[in-house]
Chain A
Amino acid sequence: MDAELIAMQLFSGVALGAILIMVALGLSIIFGMLGVVNFAHGALFMIGAYAGLWVASLTGSFWWGLLIAPIAIGAFGMLIERFLIRPLYKRSIDDPLLLTFGLGYVLVEAVRIVFGSDGIPFQTPPELAGVADLGIGFFPIYRLFVVAVVAVILVLLWLGLEKTKFGLIVRAGAKDPQIMRVLGVDIAKVWLLVFGLGIGLTALGGVLAAPMRNVNPEMGSLVLAEAFVVTVIGGMGSLVGAVVAGLLVGVAISMTALFAPEMATIVMFALMALVLLVRPHGLFGKPVRG
């Protein structure tokens, strides 16, 4: 087993983690702020991929799909928050959970009706096709692009949360929404935007994943399970946790694939169980009150 192969495998793991981070971030941000466990997150990832495909086929360019689909699906997410989830905030935490769980099924079924259940080809954009020589081995240029996009998004997100007024409100709102209301902040508007942002991120993940995988109505269900594992490991509600855990899970899958490939799927669940035993609130999560 040479060092180059292990380095390559580590890198594959990071690239794999990049998509997981996009999905887990949205999941975590929505839970952290709104207290909603969004079970429709995987379905919206899938909708993002279909929307990207649709826009790309209309415009003839992947880039328009990459730009427009996350914004459009993010806006769609805001509609979901405004009209479906908001009326349930005063009730128990189970109600939004059940609602999004059902919504996930509805969305998958709607896509089956409109686009069929067989899956649709989505070609790698020609300008990003091919492989690059990394010195340690060859890697698809498109996957390098995905890692770059995710890195840029993370930097933007960090700047937005740390350096803007809106970010300040978001961070304060996550700590104590009651005080924010007293201070005259329209917290409902903040939640609306945060939900839209979370959904936009997962939709972007869907568009980014589309050229690597078959676009089909079920593509979100596996991703949702993986993203939940990532958020649980990282700590529900922690953005840093989602990023670190996403990379951790990606690398764990990748290294297992090298030494015990048939265990590659199960390893993340083992990792989650281990983390829960040692730190029940996840690596970066706050201990649950009450």
Chain B
Amino acid sequence: MTDKSKGLPSLTRRATLAGLAAGGATLAMPGILRAQGETIRIGFPTPLTGPFAAEAKDQVKSAELAVKLINDKGGIAGRKVELLVRDDKLNAGEAATRTLELIEKDKVHAIVGALSSAVQLAVNEVTRARGIIYVSISQSDTINEIKDFSRFTFHEALNPHMTTAAVAKHTFKKDSKVAYLVADYAYGHEMLRGFKRAQQAIGATSVGEILHPFGAADYSTFMPRLRSMRPDILCICNFGRDQANSVKQAVDFGMNRQSKIVVPVLLHNQRLAIGPEAFEGVIGGANYYWGLEDTIPTAKSFNDAFKAANGGAYPTDYGAYGFSGVYSLLLAMEKAGGTDTDKVIAALEALKYDIAKGPQHYRKCDHQSVQSVLVLESKKKAEMKNEADLFKVLATEPASETILRSCSELGFPA
């Protein structure tokens, strides 16, 4: 159970000397700075420290795998690819600073990353202002809307609208009474908005909403009121350790006896950290689960490559974002024959890719990745075939634009 962010580039003496020599050469010949052989640098800000650290580390591992697979094939147009990982500390200001640094100082060709909706919007601001391609791998609805849209930004993650619609479809029923426990920040708010929209369409009703402070360790004080609402469904909209703690404590209070516990995104790492007992029967959405390999060949090859590179460990949901975010970008760069911004944007808009979870493509108007949404249920301990056998796939909502809000609703001209 050790934890080291392996693969961060370490400098050997030889590499340093080579770098110095190359630096000298660059100074001497500024005219050919962007030569054929120049390494393609991808900046990767992600919250390596803080409550989402487990998810962030998986993102890094998977992003590194994507880079490795491309480099093993000889890179892009003969150029090597390098990943520059930075800790954004789950802080919008820190993320903006790190991103600016990556662009100005490290001269990255594109940015992939961020793991919180608020942080992601900060990165989006910087990349939009600087005209740098950004592949976002954190859930957000606002990033699709015309107000925050950047033609340089592509959204590889699911968005709350599609996630909540899929989860609600398979859990809410007509006249279901739903109580919400929601983290009081962008992620929670967006998920709540999505669920309430789906709830209305299905004909379920809300019996109450409680906002909780982000990062709370104890949820016991919310439980008596949630119980008094007598919900059929307790919908807990939060992320990372907040999900682990709140689900566990809801079960401690016996909430799972009177209500079904539903979460927007059922997190692989949090289920691991809390154990099967507390999560038993909890239902939630996901972008990826390794168990897809039974039916999807690219999932199998992604799992195998990941396991080979990480000592047999299975890839996770948020890890898969790191992989597909970087890999889709590199595929587009390959098609574009390099890093020319406009050409890469055009290539991303035209790209059809299937790299881990079946067919995906970026919708032209808002650059949202059209992809499947999984609905998972956490298994009983007795049903688990091995340590990583956490979830049952209840349903797969197929990749289709019909599960997204329409371009015109988002404010884009028809």
Q: Which residues of A contact B (CB under 8 A)?
A: 2, 5, 8-9, 12-13, 15-16, 112-121, 123-124, 130-131, 137-140, 142-143, 212-214, 216, 218-219, 222-223, 253-254, 257-258, 261-266
- Besides A16-B221, A123-B275, 5 more A-B contacts (Cβ < 8 Å) are A8-B224, A9-B224, A12-B223, A119-B273, A264-B216
A263: nearest chain-B partner, CB-CB: B213
CB distance from A24 to the nearest CB of B (A): 15
Known: A140-B253, A213-B245, A218-B51. A257 touches B275 (CB 8 A): no
Known: A118-B269, A214-B245. A262 touches B218 (CB 8 A): no
A214: nearest chain-B partner, CB-CB: B244
Closest 7 CB pairs of A and B: A121-B275, A257-B221, A119-B273, A8-B224, A265-B213, A131-B254, A116-B1
Which of B3, B227, B277 has a CB less than 8 Å from the CB of A112? B3
Q: Which residues of B contact A (CB under 8 A)?
A: 1-3, 51, 53-54, 57, 184, 210-213, 215-218, 220-225, 227-228, 241, 244-245, 248-249, 252-254, 269-270, 272-275, 277
Known: A117-B3, A253-B221. A261 touches B253 (CB 8 A): no
A-B contact pairs, 19 of them (CB 8 A): A8-B224, A12-B221, A112-B3, A113-B2, A115-B1, A120-B273, A121-B272, A130-B254, A137-B227, A140-B254, A213-B218, A216-B273, A223-B217, A254-B221, A257-B222, A262-B184, A264-B213, A264-B221, A266-B213
Known: A13-B221, A118-B3. A138 touches B227 (CB 8 A): yes
Residues of A within 8 A of B248 (CB): 212-214
Q: How far is the CA of A115 from the CA of B3 in the complex (A)?
A: 8
Residues of A within 8 A of B2 (CB): 113-114, 116
B213: nearest chain-A partner, CB-CB: A265
Interchain CB contact under 8 A, B218 and A214? no
Interchain CB contact under 8 A, A119 and B241? yes
CB distance from B381 to the nearest CB of A (A): 10
Interchain CB contact under 8 A, A5 and B211? no
Q: How far is the CA of A64 from the CA of B54 in the complex (A)?
A: 30
Interchain CB contact under 8 A, A212 and B249? yes
Which of A121, A214, A266 has a CB less than 8 Å from the CB of B241? A214
Q: How far is the CA of A140 from the CA of B213 in the complex (A)?
A: 22
Interchain CB contact under 8 A, B225 and A258? yes
Residues of B within 8 A of A140 (CB): 220, 252-254
Interchain CB contact under 8 A, B225 and A212? no
Residues of B within 8 A of A5 (CB): 224-225, 228
Residues of A within 8 A of B225 (CB): 5, 9, 257-258
Interchain CB contact under 8 A, B220 and A12? yes
Residues of A within 8 A of B211 (CB): 261-262
Q: How far is the CA of A223 from the CA of B274 in the complex (A)?
A: 19
CB distance from B50 to the nearest CB of A (A): 8
Which of A115, A261, A266 has a CB less than 8 Å from the CB of B222? A261
Q: How far is the CA of A106 from the CA of B188 in the complex (A)?
A: 34
Interchain CB contact under 8 A, B224 and A16? no
Residues of B within 8 A of A262 (CB): 184, 211-213
B272: nearest chain-A partner, CB-CB: A118
A113: nearest chain-B partner, CB-CB: B2
Interchain CB contact under 8 A, A138 and B222? no
Residues of A within 8 A of B252 (CB): 124, 131, 140, 142-143, 212
Residues of A within 8 A of B220 (CB): 12, 15-16, 140, 143, 212
Q: How far is the CA of A140 from the CA of B212 in the complex (A)?
A: 20
Which of A118, A124, A137 has a CB less than 8 Å from the CB of B224? A137
Which of A131, A212, A218 has a CB less than 8 Å from the CB of B218? A212
B210: nearest chain-A partner, CB-CB: A261
A265: nearest chain-B partner, CB-CB: B213
Interchain CB contact under 8 A, B53 and A117? yes
B258: nearest chain-A partner, CB-CB: A138
Q: How far is the CA of A46 from the CA of B221 in the complex (A)?
A: 22
Residues of B within 8 A of A139 (CB): 253
Interchain CB contact under 8 A, B217 and A222? yes
A119: nearest chain-B partner, CB-CB: B273
CB distance from B380 to the nearest CB of A (A): 14
Q: How far is the CA of A245 from the CA of B273 in the complex (A)?
A: 32
Interchain CB contact under 8 A, B273 and A121? yes
Q: How far is the CA of A2 from the CA of B225 in the complex (A)?
A: 10
Q: How far is the CA of A246 from the CA of B199 in the complex (A)?
A: 41
Residues of B within 8 A of A123 (CB): 275, 277
B183: nearest chain-A partner, CB-CB: A262
CB distance from B298 to the nearest CB of A (A): 27
Residues of B within 8 A of A138 (CB): 227, 253-254
